[in-house]
Structure 1
Amino acid sequence: MLIPVKINKSIDIRDVEITNTNFKSLNLKEEQVEEFLLSNIEVIFQDETLLVVGKQVTNKENGRSDLTAVDENGNLVLIEIKRDVEDIKQRKEAFEFQAIRYAASYAKINTPDELVEKIFASYIEKYKDEFELGELTAYEKATRILNDFLEKNNADKTFNSKQRIILIASSFDSQTLSAVAWLIANNVDISCFELSPMKIGDNYFIDINRILPPPALEDFYVEVDDKKRPVYSEKRNTPITRSYLPRMDKLFEWGVIKAGDAVVIKNFDNSEATVIDTKTV
């Protein structure tokens, strides 16, 4: 709830009308919402870094996805957009099922080169005025941008290990939210964001909220300051028994493990893995 106020050594309520609206009432088309997302993706998804690599990508069954991105872990992210709940209800196929079909087709992209060839190069070619190509072809530019992004985020070895889905609308119906909640409970990486336009006085604002998945209680906990913990610079001759697992970056810092070491989960068969870095085995 927003309350317009005037502050001048006191707090007084201003006589300003707040009106909730939607994109359809503002005569905005889905393509315009899509362009807004494309231009402001770092503002809307402030908690993560996304590289947009495709727009209106068509699969072999003539399915057309809205936006395609790569996240900081190298996963392909499918972003599907509807203006509001009425647009969702008017679809013959459920909103979330449509996104699942598109995400399934992305599971076949195994390497960054495949992503460039099938999606990213054509996206840059179509919107080349927005990219400084110089003497590079669209394929070469796409390869450089994608490889730089993956290298910067240490995600080249985890490229497309899973696919994610983000659904966006100014409002959702209960059946869509119910289906998405069930998918989340069954380990599908899918989320719902509401982008709700509102008018305050003569100005327009967009309220951005992640509806699903809801934040966990642990997200609100404040961690203990680890700067005051003792630093273990030497390996001990006797094993350390712990009732919890330290973070991987701490194990690296303490010299307990390093890249190339083999690790196993105690009492779990066939759990051996090779350490790549602080994030990946």
Structure 2
Amino acid sequence: MLFKINENEKSLSTVRSEWRPKELELENLLVSLEPGGSAQILLEAVFGEPLLLISNQVRTRTKKRADILALDRGGNAVIIELKRDFGLLGIETQALQYLADFSAYKGESFLSHFAPEKSQREDIFSFLGNEAGVDEINKNSRIILVASAFDETVYSLGEWLSSKGVPFRCVAYTPVAVGSEKFVSFSIAFDRSVGALFPLTFTASAREPGYFWHNIARSDEAWWNFLISAGQIPACFDDLPGDQGERLLNRYVGGDVVIAYTKGFGAIGWGEVLAGNNYQLLKKGEKGDFLKGCCLHRLSIRWHAVAKKLNEAMPAEQVRKEFGIYHPISTSVSMDADSGKRLAEALTKKFGT
């Protein structure tokens, strides 16, 4: 809910707007494409986690239409139901019907039904970061509801569902129109998740270094040469403090091995994240603002082996066949340590140190 501050009365009043997006319009607002990515990722700032869009307006076996079907990083199906107005008792039972239908598709049957194209399968395995095999896909299913507000009876049923092992989340949105401009805010109103799906984790500094794809966002040779000379990897997003770009780069720890990737070419080099907090958000126009106000999030890295030209890259298809690593569809994707190590060694042999 959004409030207006009444300075004279030192009080708050609810902001009400005549503009209310239709369900299809709301659905379109929730889907974003990461800079340099090749698949649709639902907005992490809305849902609290990255979700890969599998299909929207997807038909169930009973010919009904679910609003959004997605996958989380664990390979679990996420059924997302949208309501333009108030979420009353009944919205969740509709989502449960979809959950019962979609949960019947597991592993290969899920892929055959919802991702029959080769490119769709590759996007799924890239999103999962090679951490889940075919048999791990859709072992569990989840529900997320999105509405302008919710009746407490919805939360009561959510409590019961979570006690039965069904993760349940409600996201509330507030639309606001100011003059000709439109705004919408989102907040998680209710969240009951199963520990097995969201295990306790420690801060990034406590984990062991790993291997990651990192998409440099632009398939531009001058941009790549700049990153090499600057000893940096970038992130774009909104280029604002606290946005997804900052959070993403701060997840890296010293010793992480980063395999640089650019769309249309493939793997173009690898480097190691430096110890200590080397993240910075550049200001527009300052030294290092190579793209004139874009991709201002930066992290220092020590490059070990890099391609001098983009056409020298190791193609994504070759990486998949020789190392079992799928191309990245988001800015940063983890990969299997043994496979990542072999890939880095191959890039060193290909490009030299």
TM range (shorter): 0.5 to 0.7
Equivalent of residue 114 in structure 2, options 106, 113, 119: 119
Residue number in structure 2 paired with 1:110: 106
The residue type paired with residue 20 of structure 1 is V
Equivalent residue for 1:241? none
The structural deviation recorded for 1:67 is 0.4
The alignment yields a C-alpha RMSD, in angstroms, of 3.9
CA gap of 1:214–1:4, structure 2 versus 1, over 3 A, is farther
Match of 1:80?
Answer: 81
Q: Which residue of 2 aligns with 1:142?
A: 120
1:72/1:153 contact within 8 Å kept: no
Deviation for aligned residue 1:199: 4.4
Kindly indicate whether the alpha-carbon contact (under 8 Å) linking 2:71 and 2:78 is maintained by their aligned counterparts in 1.
yes
Q: What is aligned with 2:97? A: 101
Q: Is the 8 A contact 2:173 2:187 kept in 1?
A: yes
Pair 52,26 (structure 1): closer, same or farther in 2 beyond 3 Å: same
- CA distance in 2 between counterparts of 1:49 and 1:36 reads 15
3-state SS of 2:127 partner: helix
Distance in structure 1 (CA, Å) of the matches to 2:60 and 2:178: 42
After superposition, the Cα gap between the structure-2 partners of 1:176 and 1:183, relative to the gap in structure 1 and judged at 3 Å, is same
The one-letter amino acid of 1:154's match is E
Equivalent residue letter for 2:54: V
Asked whether 1:155 is paired with 2:151, we answer no
C-alpha displacement of 1:115: 2.7
Structure 2 match to 1:234: none
* Structure 1 contact 79–165 (Cα < 8 Å) conserved: yes
Alignment CA distance shift 1:35-1:120 (3 Å): farther
Q: Structure 1 residues 226 and 120 mapped into 2: Cα distance closer, same or farther (>3 Å)? A: closer
More strand by share: 2
Q: Once superposed, which parts of structure 1, at least 4 consecutive aligned residues long, lie more than 6 Å away?
A: none
Offset of residue 118 of structure 1: 1.6
Alignment TM-score, normalising by the size of structure 1: 0.57
Q: Which moved more, 1:99-108 or 1:46-55?
A: 46-55
Question: What is the CA–CA distance in structure 2 between the aligned matches of 1:44 and 1:54, rounded to whole Å?
Answer: 20
Q: Distance in 2 between matches of 1:53 and 1:171?
A: 26
C-alpha contact (below 8 Å) 1:37/1:44 kept by paired residues:
no
Match of 1:29 among 22, 29, 32: 22
SS for the counterpart of 2:150 is: coil
Structure 1 residues 184-223: aligned runs within 5 Å: 184-199=162-177, 203-213=181-191
The TM-score normalised by the length of structure 2 is 0.46
Q: Which sections of structure 1, spanning at least 5 residues, go unmatched?
A: 6-11, 122-138, 228-276
Give unmatched runs, 5+ long, in structure 2.
Answer: 34-41, 194-198, 208-335, 338-353
Asked if the contact 1:193/1:212 (under 8 Å) is kept, the reply is yes
- What displacement does 1:209 show? 1.2
Give secondary structure in 1 for the equivalent of 2:54. strand
The offset of 1:172, in angstroms, is 1.1
Q: What is the rounded CA distance, in whole Å, between the counterparts of 1:21 and 1:117 in structure 2?
A: 46
Deviations 1:63-120 (A, max 9, x none): 21000001000001101000111xx45xxx8111110110111111121x43333223
1:115-139 alpha-carbon deviations (Å, 9 max, x no partner): 3332234xxxxxxxxxxxxxxxxx1
Please give the alpha-carbon distance, in whole angstroms, between the structure 2 residues aligned to 1:44 and 1:160: 23
1:35 match: secondary structure: helix
Is the contact made by 1:68 and 1:79 (CA closer than 8 Å) also made in structure 2?
Answer: yes
| Distance change (3 Å), C-alpha of 1:38 and 1:191 | same
The CA deviation at 1:207 is 2.2
**1:169 maps to what in 2?**
147
SS in 2 for 1:213: strand
Q: Per residue, is there more helix in 1 or in 2?
A: 1
| Structure with the greater alpha carbon radius of gyration | 1
1:187 aligned counterpart, secondary structure: coil
